[in-house]
Chains A and B, each alone.
Chain A
Amino acid sequence: MTLRAMRCCAKLLSHSWAAGKDTDDAVRAGSGHSGQIFSIANMPTVVLMDSSLSMTRPVSVEGSEEFQRKHLAVHGLTMLFEHMATNYRLEFTSLVAFSSLWELLVPFTRDYNTLQEALNNLEDYDKTCLEAALQGVSNVVQQEWGTSCPCQVVLVTDGAMGIGRGSLRHSLQTLKQRTDDKKFPLPFPFPSKLYVMCIANAEEFQASDGLDNLEQLISLNGGEGQIYTMEGPLCLKSVQTMFGKLIDQAYSPLHAVLRCGNLASDVQVFPRPEPVLIDEEVDPIPKTVQTDLEIVGFVEIGDISSPPVISRHLVLPIAVNKEGDEMGTGTADETEEEPSTNQMAGKSPNFCVLLHGSLKVEGMVALVQLGPDWFGMLYSQADSKKKSNLMMSLFELGSEPLPWLGRMSQLGPASDAAENPYGEDDSKSPFPIQPKNKRSYAQNVTVWIKASGLQTDVQKIFRNARKLPEKTQTFYKELNRLRKAALAFGFWELLKSVAELLERECTLLPDSAHPDAAFQLSHASQQLKLASTGDSKYAAFEHNIAPMLTDFSGGGAERM
């Protein structure tokens, strides 16, 4: 990446600097790759450009024409736009210029020519008032993307953050005196990274409190972001180095190799998966996705069953040329060869395409290992326009990210099992894994916190009591359930009451009742009474009251 960035720079340097005209060509050359290198937008970018008068301060460069700081800023952004046009073509970017007021020059777009044009036609205004501009950014992003889409904000400034009212220092000083309707725009309500590109070198910067204020700004944004300053004299080269660092940090895709045994493909993973911290007790170290994505096996979509994921990424196959540089990026002389090379790439078989096709047809996902104790899944994702793509979703870090799959390290080849877990005719599945204990809602638990719960359980017994002897089994089942709960809760009074009720029920039996009913009722009543004494002989929890064996019931005959 750095190599590539440097090459871009080299090329830019070879052109004479003239209001960005030549760089337009560079952008066009970049967009000439259309259709070959893809990226997706997952993190829209807002470029917040300082167009205050201080940006027009001249930079003294020996032996060449005079530059303004603004020119350096435009030069750096041109480099960023060119990079994105080449590598992040589906990224949405917008351009906001600010001074004492702010203006949305280009709404979110993928058209980098428009962005470049607006940048080239930038006018100069008055003083720097950052707070209003940040509020503007916040509004622009929320209107377009809501509050859950992560955004990157690239603030380009000379580091002179204004004086008096409206200056950043003033804003920060009055931070605590805000009412709810005039809150400081940071932290942004959406996940964000704030990158500050200072067209100033660190030394001159340290003299003022500008750096402190900007650092405070980043910490207000929850530490999400970074400040870049220029090293050495202010010149084209150092601005390129600075933007090169930003590109490396925030705009470089992940290059990886997707493997399935001996089958492999070089891929780009978009967007770059963020490092993950696990909330452990000891030394949390951010975990990053390894560049070897190793498929460990396959699972049916129905078995994986909409698993929770921490992020989604496009997996795009890339052709790697001999120098190990990916194609479609880099210098102009490469672009000339590209069409043929790319055609070759399109026509030579790629494992990703094969995998995608089969995953789609079979309705399966591939489980892929992303690092130690970290897994994800690959699957075919189709959009409404019948285009489909290979996607990778990342599971939560850990040895058991999905309870219904169990421990990932214990997943092995189905062919190793003594009996095919999928059945000979594919009618079975070893998933989901059944937990050892049933949850409360899956077992008939007894809860009497509400009086109605208790009343329902008592009623159930008597509903069955009136249908004796047909309902003998259910009658005793309900009776035993009540008995168990009453014993556990130490609710012996209830046992006595129900015993009395059963006794009374017995006396109230109509003449037409089956003679067995009376026997069972008095038997049940007597047993409950015994249990209510707490006598360990009768009040054992695991004991169940068995139906009385009578002459009328089936068992009675045997006994005789």
Chain B
Amino acid sequence: MRMFSVSHKTAFVVDHCPYMAESCRQLIECDMLTKSRAQGVIPLAPVSKSLWTCAIECSMEYCRILFDIYPTKKLVNYIVSDSEVHILNNWKQEHQNTHELMAALATVGPPNPRQDPECCSVLHGLVAAVESLCKITEYQHEARTSLMDVADRVANRGRIICLTNAKSDTHVRMLEDCVLETIQEQNKLAAGSDRLMPIQQCELVLVHIFPQGDDTLVSDRQKKELSSVLTSEVHSVRAGRYLASKLNVLVQQHFDLASTTITNIPMKEEQHANTSANYDVELLHHRDAHIEFIKSGDLHMAGSTSRDSGLKETVTLKWCTPRTNSVELHYCTGAYRISPVDVNSRPSSCLTNFLLNGRSVLLEQPRKSGSKVISHMLSSHGGEIFLHVLNSTRSTLEDPPSISEGCGGRVTDYRITDFGEFMRENRLTPFPDEMVDTLGRTPIERAKFQLERHTRYWPMIISQTTIFNMQAVVPLANLIVKDTLTDEDVLTCQKTVYNLVDMERKSDPLPISTVGSRGKGPKRDEQYRIMWNELETLVKAHVGNSERHQRVLDCISACRSKPPEEEERKKRGRKREDKEEKDKNGKDSEEKSWTAESERLKGAMEREKDEQAECEIIKDSPDSPEPLNKKPRLATEEQQPPEKSKGPVSLLSLWTNRITQANSRKHQEFAGRLNSVNNKAELYQHLKEENGMDAHENGKATR
């Protein structure tokens, strides 16, 4: 349906003349109590609606369905006509709701039967409707402003639905002539105005309402072209439920709707809570929800049956009780808003409430062949219920290759978890319409900009990065990608850097990957050099953001270890002490990894292996320290070196070693063992010392 088709604007004109106050002569018993109550009571006379009441409630039902299915862009202007015109709302979107119309109708009230019929006419309303159709809607205005030079190509079409009680066919013709004349006049007027648009096409739907039992004075007439601008059709309908079903058919025709009946809905009985009966609920929606049935020509096979009215068909779909509440991404080819035909009935409200509470229901297409085909799904989003069309035909996406078979499929150490975190940080959220930032960027542009910032340095695999494998870098890494930094942020970044400096001083091991490198990973100082370089790369990528970003980079440049040349010079001299530090450090890392979860443990074990391999090689080098020179430590470790020198270490010994080390941290080391030489502690040292002292003192004393 094109946006500015005749259904863009609907003007309702309802006759408010004295004759509309006449009863429709369909009686409604509302004194239901007498049946069960005292005998002597005389039941109250049944009530009956006036033609006016019938017209109002049916037109309101038309609007209800329309607003349910088209919350925007399909507009209604409601006009009441007697001796004058009452325009109850305008084309503005905010006035498109039944509540507002009901309130306005209440102020109009029922027609006054004592009013002079001579000065009352529906003509006033029809003239007003034509004038109203010339008025530009906000959507037309928007389209015209966006098209500027071709603004005249925005169409102005509309429909007038007139609910009246006509006298005769001649009267009807008179009404049509009047509309046509008015259109011609108004179009002339509109041609010279900015706020008005000439009507290109108008559909007049005249509904003649007459009371039950009367003979109609007006004959039905199919749509007929009165001029190139105006077509007209006449429906002669008895008031009451006949009128209701007529308007129901009209709303479906006017807005391309179709009907689906959900069958087999299990519902608990009010009286017998433990039994359940099956109910049907009829829904209206855009007819494209049936497109598959229409195309394949099996609309009838799909369980379509004629309804009572005999005018429209409904497709029957079977309820499938939902088993789980799991979120699933269905392959859905369309989603259409629904409106229940009988909105207040118990089955309807049970179904809609069930859906509004967040459950989804799959619908099955009944087939004679017996195979079960799920063709639709009912689901609510934000308080609106949609009929989703699911793809139920055979998929030609048979047997597609797995992503692991293609490019990059063999790589196993993608930073899946980190990227998951990245995605969470880059989740979207709706912003109000006027929300543009100081640079005039729309929210979605800001989202792209943020993605750009967050990915300036983003290694895809674990073995490509050191800093993103380090918990210690997280605070800085999270902050530096921001567009602007606060002083506090800078401080946090600086603290992170100091912390790293501290780690380097202590020579903490780094989670540097050894994948791809032969034999062993880089040496400790080399590791730190890699880490610092990577950190610099990260920060440099953002240094243009602000002066505060620059301060972070300055901090790194100032704090990071000496430039490589200098390092190189010192390297040889430092090697010995470096080695010692490393060993001492091994212990620290031991504990860290021991307390951490298994993943880190594994990493630490690998690290330890590397370290040991490193030791081995260093030992062989000319200036390697003698094993005995190592700072004496745990007994078990003392026994380790000969084993190490033998070659590869068994996993068991590694493990025992680790556990012993970890346990050893839990108690204070024996003083003797700490001071031992070659694992032998001299006993009764104090005696020796005391004796010596004593001797000395004694000597002194004697002296």
- Residues of A in contact with B (beta carbons under 8 Å apart): 35-36, 38, 40-44, 90, 92, 145-149, 189, 260-263, 265, 279-282, 294-302, 304-310, 312, 314, 316-319, 343, 345-359, 361-367, 369, 379, 383, 385, 387-390, 393, 403-417, 421-422, 426, 430-442, 445-451, 453-456, 458-459, 462, 484-485, 487-494, 497-498, 500-501, 504-505, 508, 534, 536, 539-542
Contact = CB atoms under 8 A, between A and B. Distances in A.
B61 A299 contact: no
B430 A389 contact: no
A440 B505 CA distance: 70
14 contacts: A38-B406, A149-B396, A263-B460, A281-B2, A410-B442, A414-B429, A434-B383, A439-B67, A455-B29, A458-B32, A490-B52, A490-B110, A493-B48, A539-B106
Contacts of B450: 413, 415-416
B226 interface: no
B3 A281 contact: yes
Nearest to A487: B106
Interface residues of B, number: 139
B340 A441 contact: yes
B390 to A, nearest CB: 8
Given A41-B398, A459-B32, A416 B329 contact: no
B604 interface: no
Nearest to B355: A441
B408 A309 contact: no
Nearest to A300: B427
Contacts of A260: 451, 455
A416 B339 contact: no
- 9 smallest beta-carbon distances between A and B, as pairs: A350-B408, A412-B443, A490-B110, A261-B455, A432-B382, A541-B106, A404-B381, A387-B402, A261-B451
A117 B327 CA distance: 48
A314 B400 CA distance: 9
B147 A282 contact: yes
Contacts of A343: 410
A163 B98 CA distance: 67
B30 A497 contact: yes
Interface in B249-277: none
A307 B64 CA distance: 25
A148 B426 contact: no
A242 to B, nearest CB: 27
B452 A262 contact: yes
Given A389-B402, A416-B431, A433-B382, 19 more contacts: A146-B296, A189-B295, A261-B451, A296-B444, A296-B451, A297-B447, A306-B379, A312-B331, A316-B401, A317-B406, A346-B410, A412-B430, A414-B428, A426-B424, A434-B382, A459-B32, A488-B106, A500-B44, A541-B106
Nearest to B48: A493
B648 interface: no
Interface of B: 1-4, 28-33, 37-38, 41, 44-45, 47-50, 52-53, 56-58, 60-61, 64-65, 67-68, 71, 94, 97-98, 102-103, 105-111, 143, 147, 150, 153-155, 241, 244, 292, 295-297, 327-335, 337, 339-340, 342-345, 348-349, 352, 356, 360, 377, 379, 381-385, 388-389, 393-394, 396-411, 414-417, 419-420, 422-433, 435, 442-444, 446-448, 450-456, 458, 460-461, 464
Given A435-B383, A491-B53, A147 B401 contact: no
Nearest to A353: B408
Given A295-B451, A304-B329, A498-B30, A539 B109 contact: yes
Contacts of B339: 439-441
A274 to B, nearest CB: 14
A491 B430 contact: no
B150 A282 contact: yes
Contacts of A462: 33
A501 B30 contact: yes
A442 B329 contact: no
B343 A445 contact: yes
Given A296-B448, A309-B332, A442-B356, A90 B425 contact: no
A455 B46 CA distance: 11
A261 to B, nearest CB: 3
Contacts of A148: 292, 295-296, 393
Nearest to A147: B296
B428 A296 contact: yes
A165 to B, nearest CB: 29
Contacts of A43: 396
A38 B435 contact: no
A37 to B, nearest CB: 9
A483 B340 CA distance: 24
Given A411-B431, A500-B44, A357 B292 contact: no
Contacts of B442: 409-410, 412
Contact of B408 (A263, A349, A393): A349
Contact of A439 (B58, B348, B383): B383
Contact of A262 (B295, B349, B393, B456): B456
B427 A297 contact: yes
B282 to A, nearest CB: 13
A439 B435 contact: no
B397 A40 contact: yes
B400 A40 contact: yes
Nearest to A383: B400
B401 A389 contact: yes
B97 A437 contact: yes
Nearest to B58: A449
Contacts of A346: 406-411
A415 to B, nearest CB: 7
A440 B153 contact: no
A265 B455 CA distance: 14
A299 B427 contact: yes
Contacts of A412: 428-431, 435, 442-444, 446-447
A439 B388 contact: no
A179 to B, nearest CB: 17
A261 B292 CA distance: 39
A437 B71 contact: yes
A493 B47 contact: yes
B400 A352 contact: no
A528 B392 CA distance: 55
Nearest to B446: A412
A460 to B, nearest CB: 11
A408 B424 contact: no
Contacts of B388: 306, 308
Given A261-B451, A442-B352, A411 B420 contact: no
B171 to A, nearest CB: 23
B30 A306 contact: no
Given A148-B296, A437-B97, A440-B343, A508 B37 contact: yes
A435 B343 contact: no
A98 B464 CA distance: 60
A413 B428 contact: yes
Contacts of B57: 447-449, 489
B76 to A, nearest CB: 13
A515 to B, nearest CB: 21
Nearest to A462: B33
Contacts of A448: 57
A459 B381 CA distance: 34
Contact of B397 (A42, A434, A500): A42
Contacts of A309: 331-333
A439 B415 contact: no
A458 B44 CA distance: 13
Contacts of B155: 281
A410 B52 contact: no
Most buried by B among A299, A430, A441, A508: A441
Given A441-B340, A458-B32, A501-B30, A449 B385 contact: no
Contacts of A366: 423
Contacts of B110: 490-492, 534
B396 A404 contact: no
A354 B381 contact: no
Most buried by B among A357, A365, A434, A539: A357
Contacts of A445: 64, 98, 343-344
